[in-house]
Structure 1
């Protein structure tokens, strides 16, 4: 079968794509990822370039228009220049530029571009960029958290585009124009602020200001720093022993601050010191801890046993406050200790942590329920914000919004509750070099954090409600909804969705690298509490479904690596067979996959997710026509330390292999290789590979 080659099957402006993809990872304000966290999202620039180059013909496919190699190369460079403009972050909402790109796509698809389907939609990058290019976007994912994220990106914004906001302040602005998602963003800002005000009226008194010693002035607290404690096993000591990873509070040049432990009446308290003093090492490490009081070495096994018996507590060791000169560090005081000691709130979301899971470490320390990942005050804050969402729904309707519109607003505000959870758990640490809170998912894991920071949701610093909802509103600036409402399915990649003939582009699971289902339960328990009434089918289960999740995790197979490997291999083959039915003949499908994988030695042969992916693609009936190395991950991420990190992605460019495809001899293969190799190398060199 002959087909017109697409640009992606010949050449790409790879340097420009990689540079912009890497740059985009550092963009925080105005990025769609600010709506809700998802792990290992691909950059928008990457997906945008790959989709465009998959749909647009390579000039060599039109010898009647470009008869010479020189003419083809000139046209190719014109398309490269268009891609280089398309992928620039600042051009993400340039309507004229994207209209030009859409015309190029139409020209190469007979004026009828097919829909784009991503069966592993995850954080929604690929469907969002398909929609930005003017195409119909179809997303599917087994994970309910991913499903609701995709709805918030490709369904809700299009449904309510170009609509005026309903809040009373906006109604008074008679001359305002509400193009695109501006009206939706304005209402989210208004009702988000209202949500904060209602929550503060309920619980603001549990977040008092701190008195600055010697001055008497009050300062807003940013965070309270706590250290976990166990009783020292030394019979001559028996003090409540703080477990502190680092005594540094600030390592910022010229503003250094640290904690100095002091013994007082057989108890340990902490004083704040400023400057470059001699800061002692932390008291806990990988192998065990050291008692500050008596110097005894305590094995980690003792700490684990004490924690499992319910004998681990927490001690307030410092208070971080806002001041005109920057961060202010103060010693703990009795008022702030007592006010944090409150009863457990009612109606806390239930859910057990998995006994074992990728990246989970807290179960070894007696933390077996998701509610135990939060302090009582954190649970009180989250349940209060959650409960007040009902009031917001009613208020939106009272202000003239439809039932559907009120549900849309509450969906985004429910995301803010998730964001508060991410920045308000006992997994959050204090980043002393940057003097700011470290969120729960600084890594793709739930690790044990010995000295955690409890944020104040009512301050204005990073991680507060004010900061988070501000970032969410800014994110809408990067949306450019097309006229077509995206379709989002809560379904496995092997389900028969009857989507017709589509362009497939997807980023499948990375063998055993990320346990999405286990990690996303952290958010699911809150989303279910807040949105079950609006989306009963999506949130019908107590936790995220895991049985069908395509990940090679031995703990789900009684510890058997072989069984986990076979499950992943069979599952990936079933997925590829399924997408073969949907894939259009005229346009290649693109599959992202990790370049670096955890290899596993089974029976003397090495297998990995990478090899499994290649095997599944070929066995399902596809041919691999090209591969492109795309650098998509930020260097120096936390997950890179001591782990087999994903250095880059490979984009596999595949075509359906005809059922009557001929079998060639070795001589035929070598002849074809000699014929194709030289021009292919020239094209690769033009892409700087």
Structure 2
């Protein structure tokens, strides 16, 4: 057993090395991992396949570890991401760049992986920028800066970073019907403390004009009003600056659909020597924007799906309508130049000695033509990234003085005041910044094995022999990626359809077959659920039918937090997905949470979002699986689950993760059976099984209370009802008597305050300052936990925290049990997410605390030994 734990610890240490960002391309760490994989696989490395490859993270990680990587998806954008991630880089691995040396540039040797390809992406990105400036640079003039302007340390000219526009509608007041009034969510341009910049609208009702003056500093009241813009509430509720009348959402929608949604330039942000320069709009800048004339724009319709597409109600109904004319001209021009420069790249490749085989990239070419097409693919992704920053959905972020991109979430919101980026600046949203993102990504690819990405549905794809399946499938009805992908497809298709004609043969991203439960697509919730269930069953059955049981299948599932809030861990999406997995012939032998969110992120219900993804570990169900009754299943749960839960707690699974983790051993018991029959002989649903598993988890956590001292049990009962608030003495006395205590006894323990007929638990900040478990003659588990949390929140895993942890080491398991119980109370019963976070965070660092305490103890022993060897009180320094 000891040897097994040592081996487990050694492998965990290796995993910790692998997930450290600095080791992403470390040859030594990666080779150590590959050696372990070869050892466990008998020398031959199996291919890894993800049939829902999406962003290609799973095949990319497989390739990094030296495993042959495969992926497939229906979505053309996902397929191209996969090809750019795992298929193209190995074809040009370890090759130097082919571009001519820049003036003063020195050639280097020893290009690893895709570093040479990355250098060419950056070089030809610069070439594209140069050519684009020649064609459309006049649309982006510098701005004159008065010498008195704050931030102006230059020669009176400055490069514009962003133009701040506001959408407008005609005033609803008939007296000002010819005036376009702004719809502004905020007039605040910079929120930096002491350096606030804001816009003051100046209204001339006689002249029917509105001007915007830039103001620096101001009173708190002025800054507060500026933050509010012209808003009159949530959504499209505004105040008309001309008349003071309320502008209703229905009016804004009507005007938008009638094509009367306009825009006015309010302010300009320019580059300064040390800080941003904020200026009022001027005619030169307005005229420059008007010069951009577009004859054609993407006409793909936006779906009328109000969960993720909010602009349709306001008349912005096509993807082309999400961009200004100048943005459309810029995106079109950069795309044209990327296509044109392909011939130049091919000539340079030939000049650098690359093979002239004429084989295109789509046919696995690795010569000059394929190389030129490969660079074009990556520059195409740079254009797609630009579209995310060059739309009229982008806003100005006053907290960091920069542009906020279109996709802050998986939706296209409606924005009122928006920021238009300058492609030729050196600040947020510029062309070279987007190119550099791509360059850095490609430079960090590890081309340790071959890769292949194809366009195919998961229901009928053929897997390579011996493949290990690891996949992150669509999550019920969470996100309609196909609809959202059209935002990028409309720019990538014209650029890459010659390189990959089959992938870009669609008018838009295929949607009908997308495996999500979208009611708007299938005529209602029930039909959508049936479509998802049938399709997912078919896809998973296709997996189970083609693989053997040499390796488990791993399937990732992301919880929809709004579902957890209303339905708990047995939510519709989760239960439906598990049902599909089991009906396809799999038994689920484990579930483990994967932390994909920040540890301090809590949703309103108190459920921590740090484990928003769960990995299902699956193997084929035995052909001899039995059909059993509900009673037999419950007996098996009660017999096996507590032992498994105890193991999970010993592994320091965070309280927020425990419900998801507990599903593993619980659903493993359920899914081993062919069927579990209810009293009426109907099959038990997965949802019912999940509820029973959760009930056993609650009973288990409640059962550990019996191991606590009486004072802690009193505090736990009181806390569940009152938290840290006051309650009546009589109630406290009843609870104390039931525990064999008195209120005064609990007060003597230092846990509560009792005065004037009221009792309350002392919060952590009111506990004694100078406390030590060694000196406490009435020590309780409650005190140990809360003094430890107070120290941990003040200093983290510090020497002082570790020392306190060591002092209460004999009570450590009970302290941890109490943290689990209190997390459950705060998260699900008292709805206090902030308190829940404290208990959860401590358990997350429990392993680190334990290791730190062990090291501190070893250091003390070593120091004492050294003292003993060197005589009385003589330290060996």
User: Counterpart in 2 of 1:537?
Assistant: 502
Q: Any residues of structure 2 matched to 1:155-194 within 5 Å, and which?
A: 155-169=87-101, 173-194=106-127
Q: Any residues of structure 2 matched to 1:146-161 within 5 Å, and which?
A: 146-161=78-93
Instruction: State the SS of the aligned residue for 2:174.
Output: coil
Structure 1: distance between partners of 2:484 and 2:605: 19
User: Counterpart in 2 of 1:452?
Assistant: 418
Q: Which has the higher helix share?
A: 2
What's the CA shift for 1:231?
0.8
Instruction: State the SS of the aligned residue for 2:489.
Output: helix
User: Counterpart in 1 of 2:196?
Assistant: 256
User: Counterpart in 2 of 1:202?
Assistant: 135
1:229 counterpart (131, 148, 168):
168
User: Counterpart in 1 of 2:32?
Assistant: 100
Which gives a bigger RCO, structure 1 or 2 (Cα 8 Å, sep 6+)?
A: 1
Structure 2: distance between partners of 1:237 and 1:643: 51
**Cα distance 1:96–1:243, how it changes in 2: closer, same or farther (>3 A)?**
same
Q: Any residues of structure 2 matched to 1:373-522 within 5 Å, and which?
A: 373-401=322-350, 402-482=368-448, 484-522=449-487
**Cα distance 1:636–1:332, how it changes in 2: closer, same or farther (>3 A)?**
farther
- Mean Cα deviation higher: 417-426 or 335-344: 335-344
Structure 2: distance between partners of 1:362 and 1:399: 45
Instruction: State the SS of the aligned residue for 1:387.
Output: helix
**Cα distance 1:687–1:86, how it changes in 2: closer, same or farther (>3 A)?**
farther
**Cα distance 1:130–1:169, how it changes in 2: closer, same or farther (>3 A)?**
same
**Cα distance 1:647–1:338, how it changes in 2: closer, same or farther (>3 A)?**
farther
CA RMSD in angstroms comes to 2.7
What's the CA shift for 1:519?
0.5
Show CA shifts across 1:339-374 (max 9, x none).
111354245333111122541010001111111110
2:550 maps to 1:608:
no
Structure 1: distance between partners of 2:281 and 2:110: 50
Instruction: State the SS of the aligned residue for 1:326.
Output: coil
Q: Matched residue pairs, number?
A: 617
What's the CA shift for 1:645?
7.7
User: Counterpart in 2 of 1:241?
Assistant: 181
Show CA shifts across 1:140-191 (max 9, x none).
1110000000111101111110111110117974552222111111111110
Structure 1: distance between partners of 2:284 and 2:166: 17
Show CA shifts across 1:630-680 (max 9, x none).
120347899999999896111111111132335567669847974685367
**TM-score relative to the length of structure 1:** 0.85
**TM-score relative to the length of structure 2:** 0.67
Q: Any residues of structure 2 matched to 1:298-317 within 5 Å, and which?
A: 298-317=247-266
CA contact (8 A) 1:357 1:518 kept: no
Structure 1: distance between partners of 2:30 and 2:625: 38
1:90 counterpart (22, 28, 31):
22
What's the CA shift for 1:477?
3.5
**Cα distance 1:291–1:674, how it changes in 2: closer, same or farther (>3 A)?**
same
**Cα distance 1:255–1:333, how it changes in 2: closer, same or farther (>3 A)?**
same
Q: Any residues of structure 2 matched to 1:213-362 within 5 Å, and which?
A: 213-214=146-147, 217-238=156-177, 239-264=179-204, 265-277=207-219, 278-279=222-223, 280=225, 281-284=228-231, 285-286=234-235, 288-342=237-291, 344-356=293-305, 358-362=307-311
Show CA shifts across 1:274-299 (max 9, x none).
01341322213425211112110121
What's the CA shift for 1:684?
5.1
- Mean Cα deviation higher: 246-255 or 494-503: 494-503
Structure 1: distance between partners of 2:611 and 2:4: 34
CA contact (8 A) 2:476 2:577 kept: no
Unaligned runs of 5+ in 2: 149-154, 351-367, 655-877
2:519 maps to 1:554:
yes
2:46 maps to 1:114:
yes
User: Counterpart in 2 of 1:31?
Assistant: none
User: Counterpart in 2 of 1:658?
Assistant: 622
**Cα distance 1:224–1:461, how it changes in 2: closer, same or farther (>3 A)?**
same
Instruction: State the SS of the aligned residue for 2:410.
Output: coil
Q: Rg larger in 1 or in 2?
A: 2
